Structure 1
Amino acid sequence: MASSKEYCNELLNRAGIQINGSHPWDMQVHDDSVFDQVLSRGNLGLGEAYMAGLWDAERLDQFFHRLLRSGVQDEVNPARLIFHSLKSRLFNLQDDKRAWEVGQKHYDIGNNLYQAMLDERMVYTCGYWRNADNLDEAQRDKLELSCQKLQLKPGMRILDIGCGWGSFMQYAAANFGVECVGVTISKEQVRLGEERCKDLPVEFRLQDYRDLDEPFDRIISLGMFEHVGQKNYEDYMEVARRCLKDDGLFLLHTIGKNVSDTAADPWISRYIFPNGEIPSIAQIGSALEERFVCEDLHNFGADYDRTLMGWFKNFDDAWPQLQDNYEKSFYRMWKYYLLSCAGAFRARDIQLWQWVLSKEGIEGGYQRPFV
C-alpha cells in the first residue's frame, strides 16, 4: 500500500508538479505531515498547512493552475468533508442573522488593507481587461461596461445590492447623472464609502437586501451574489423583481462554478468568506424562472486571473506598511487566497458572469454595448 507521500506524489506528477522540484510551480515540502493533512482534509488541510509554513511554492498561482487544470484534486474527497458539502443543502447558512458574519470577518478587517490592495476606485470585483493595460484601467472599463449594459440615463434611480465602498455608484453618479442607493452589511464600507461619495447623489445603507421594498429604474449587484446561498436564490430574485420597475434592467455580476453539485471550498469558507457559496448557471437559471428574462449572459472569467494577480502585487508591495495591523499568519493566508483563486480562474475551474435581466423581455431585443 502506497504511503500518503507516495500517493500525493503520483497525483501531483499527473498535474506536472514535482515534490521539491526545480520549477516555480513545484511544491517545496518542509514537513511530510502535509500529505496526511491533504488526504484527510483536502484543500482545508492543504491551506492550513501552507499557513503554518509546512510547504511553499515559488509561484502559488502556477501551482494551482496546473493542479486544477489536471483535475487530480477530484480524487481527494475525504469522508470527513461530506458534512461540509451537505451543510449548504441542509441549513440556511446565509439567513438574516448569519448574513452579517462575512461583513464583520472579511470586509471590516481594515479599510487600509483594501485601499492598498485595490485600484484607485476600490473595486473589489473582476476587472475588464479587453483594452486595459493596468488594474485602474481594467476596473474603470468594467464600471463603464456595466453602466452601458444598464443603459443608464440622467435622472434614473439605481439600486446597488452589495455596494462595497461605492465604486459603481460613484462612477455612475459622476458620469451618467443618476441617483444611487447602495446596501451593504459592512460598517467599514459605509463609513469610507460615505466619505468618498460625499458630494454625489449617493446613499449608503447598512441593510440586509431582504428588507428592500421600493422602486428603482435599474438594479446592479457586483460580486454580492456569492454571499446569498442556494437556499436564498429565489428569495433574492423576488426582492430584485419587486424593486425593479416594469421597464427596468437588472445586472447581476457573480463568480460561478461549472458544476451544480459541488460544495463550497472549506478553506475559503473558514478563513476568507464565511458561509460563501458560488452558484452554477443551472442554479441561477432556476431562480430566474417566472421572475426574469435573461437578455444577455457574458463570461469574462479569464479576466479575474489578471485582476487577482494585480491585487496580490499591490498587497505584497504594501505589506511592510500593513503588517503591524495583522497577525503573522495573515500574510500567508491572504497570499494563499489571492493566488489560489488566480490559479483557479486561469484553469477555468470557476467563471465570472454578467447577466442582464428584464422582467418581461425587451421588445425588439437587447443589444450588448461594444465597450
Structure 2
Amino acid sequence: MTSDSRIGPIALPETRARRVIEQLLEGSGVALNGQAPQDLRVHHPDFFSRVLRQGTLGLGEAYMDGWWDCDRIDEMACRLLRHGLGERAHTPSERLRYRLQSGLFNLQSKARAHIVGEAHYDLGNDLFERMLDPTMCYSCGYWKEARTLHEAQRAKLELACRKLELEPGLRVLDIGCGWGSFAEHAARHHGVEVTGITISREQAELARERCRDLAVTIELKDYRDLSGRYDRIVSIGMFEHVGHRNYPTYFRTVSEHLMPEGLFLLHTIGSNRSEISADPWVNRYIFPNGVLPSAMHVARASEPHLLLEDWQNFGPDYDPTLMAWLTNFDARWHEVAPRYNERTRRMFRYYLSVCAGAFRARDLQLWQLVFSRQRQGRYDAPR
C-alpha cells in the first residue's frame, strides 16, 4: 500500500497527459504505439507532458532526443494537419512570445540577416550536396512532366527563365542566389549576365566555383545594399526570410533596381493565413527568424511599386521535392556522418518529413509570381 501511494502521485499526471494526447489523436488516423507507418512509437514516459507543455517545439525536440519514432513522419504530419491539429499544437505562450518579439523588433533587420545563413545555409556544403540534386536547387521543383528530382529542378529553372523572357545579353539580378543554381542555368542556357547575391559565405563560395566559366558574379550582400539597374530580377526561395516589417522595403528595392520594361519573378512558400507567426521548432532549428507571407501580405506590399502580371501555385510539387531530398539524405548520410551527430540526422529527417506532410495537407503553398514596372502590351506566362 505504501509503495503504491508513492507511485500514484508521480504516475498520475503522466497518465492524464497521455489521455489528453490520445483524445487529440482520435479520428486522425494516427495512433500511439500502433502498427501503421504513421503511428508514433513512444520510448520515454515524459513524452506526453512535454508535448502538451511545449507544443510543436516539444514534439520536434523529443524526436531529436530519441523519445519517439515513426516510420512515416510525413504521413503522420499530413494526417494531423488534416485533422485540424495544426493550430491547436501551438501553445498560447509561444504565440504571445513571437507576436511580442515581431511587434517590438525587426527580426529580419539588416544587422540580423546573417543569422539564418550561419545557422542553416552555412551548416556544411557537403551535407547539402548529398541531399540536393546536381543543380543544387534548394527550393521546390516543377513536377508537371518530371519523373526525377533532377528533371523537376531543371524544369523549375527553365520555367522561371521562360517567364522572365530571357534573351542573350540581358542583365539579371538573382536575390538570394543560393549555390548558384539559377545563375548557372540562366547564363549557360540563355546567354544572360547574372549578378547573384547571398548572405551565406558557404553558398557564395560554392556558387562562385560552379559558375567560374560563366558571365556570373556572386556577391556576399544583403538586398538592402544593392546598386545598379537590371533588365530582369529573380528571387527563388529567399522571400521567406524577408519578414513582414520589411516587405514594403523589399518591393520598393526591386522596383528601384528594375529597368522600366523589366520583369521580376518571385518564387516563395506561402501561408494560407495572414497572421504573423512561425513554427517554434522550425524557427529555432532550421530557419531562424523566418516567416511565411500570405497572399494578402504580398499583394499589399507590392501594389505601390509593381504590377502583378501572373500568379501560379504549384504547392503540391513541394511534397515530392522534399521526399526526394529525404531519400537522398538517408541514402548518403553515412558519407558525412563523421562530421555531424545523430541529433543533426534526426533534425533533418524531421524537418524534411514534417514539411512534406504540410504541403501534402495543403497547409502550405508554393507561389511563382511575375511582376512588371510599366510593361506595354500583354504578358502571357508559360506553364
TM-score, normalized by the shorter chain, greater than 0.5: yes
Contact 1:85 1:264 in 2 (8 A): no
Q: Which whole-Å CA distance do the structure 1 matches of 2:356 and 2:99 have between them?
A: 23
User: Equivalent residue for 2:308?
Assistant: 294
Distance in 2, matches of 1:339 and 1:171, equals 28
Q: Tell me the SS of whatever aligns to 2:101.
A: helix
Give the TM-score normalised by structure 2. Answer: 0.94
Q: Which residue of 2 aligns with 1:270?
A: 284
Question: Larger C-alpha radius of gyration, 1 or 2?
Answer: 2
Q: CA deviation at 1:85?
A: 3.7
Q: Report the counterpart of residue 368 of structure 1 in structure 2.
A: 381
Q: Kindly provide the amino acid, as one letter, of the partner of residue 125 in structure 2.
A: N
Alpha carbons of structure 1 residues 126 and 283: separation in structure 2 relative to 1, 3 Å: same
Unaligned runs of 5+ in 1: none
* Equivalent residue for 1:42, pick from 30, 34, 55: 55
Cα distance in 2 for residues equivalent to 1:131 and 1:77: 37
Alignment of 1:227-246 (within 5 A): 227-246=241-260
Paired residues for 1:140-219 under 5 Å: 140-219=154-233
In the other structure, the counterpart of 1:3 is 16
TM-score, normalization by structure 1: 0.97
Structure 1 vs Structure 2: percent identity of aligned residues?
51
Matched-pair contact (CA < 8 Å) for 1:14–1:72: no
| Preserved CA contact (<8 Å) 2:174 2:197 | yes
CA RMSD for the aligned pairs?
1.2
- Aligned partner of residue 60 in structure 2, secondary structure: helix
CA distance in 2: counterparts of 1:86 and 1:7, whole angstroms: 29
In structure 2, what residue type is equivalent to 1:166? Answer: G
Aligned pairs, number: 369
Residue 157 of structure 1 aligns to which amino acid in structure 2?
R
Q: Which deviations, in whole Å up to 9, do the C-alpha atoms of 1:16-58 show, x marking residues without a partner?
A: 1111111100111111311111111110010001101111111
| Cross-structure match for 1:28 | 41
Instruction: Determine which of 356, 365, 368 is the counterpart of 1:351.
Output: 365
1:12-23 → structure 2 map (5 Å cutoff): 12-23=25-36
Contact 2:276 2:291 survives alignment (8 Å): no
- Give the CA deviation at 1:262: 4.5
- What letter corresponds to residue 207 of structure 1 in structure 2? K
Q: Secondary structure at the match of 1:277?
A: coil
Residue 80 of structure 1 and its aligned partner are, at CA, apart by: 2.2
Alignment partner, residue 87 of structure 2: 74
Q: Whole-Å Cα distance in 2 between the matches of residues 86 and 174 of structure 1?
A: 46
Instruction: Output the amino acid matched with 1:79.
Output: P
List alignment gaps of at least 5 residues for structure 2.
1-12
Question: What secondary structure does 1:131 align onto?
Answer: coil
Distance 1:151 1:205 in 2: 24
- Larger mean Cα displacement after TM superposition, 230-239 or 83-92: 83-92
Q: Give 1:89's aligned amino acid.
A: G
CA distance 1:262–1:27, change in 2 (3 Å): farther
Q: Which whole-Å CA distance do the structure 2 matches of 1:162 and 1:203 have between them?
A: 13
The code of the aligned residue for 1:148 comes to R
CA drift of 1:3 comes to 1.5
Following TM superposition, by how much is the alpha carbon of 1:364 offset from its aligned partner in structure 2, in angstroms? Answer: 3.0
What secondary structure does 2:26 align onto?
helix
- What secondary structure does 1:97 align onto? helix
Please say if residues 173 and 179 of structure 1, whose CA atoms lie closer than 8 Å, have aligned partners that are also in contact.
yes
Q: Within 2, Cα distance between the matches of 1:98 and 1:338?
A: 25
User: Secondary structure in 1 aligned to 2:142?
Assistant: coil
Contact 1:5 1:32 in 2 (8 A): no
Equivalent position of 1:96 in the other structure: 110
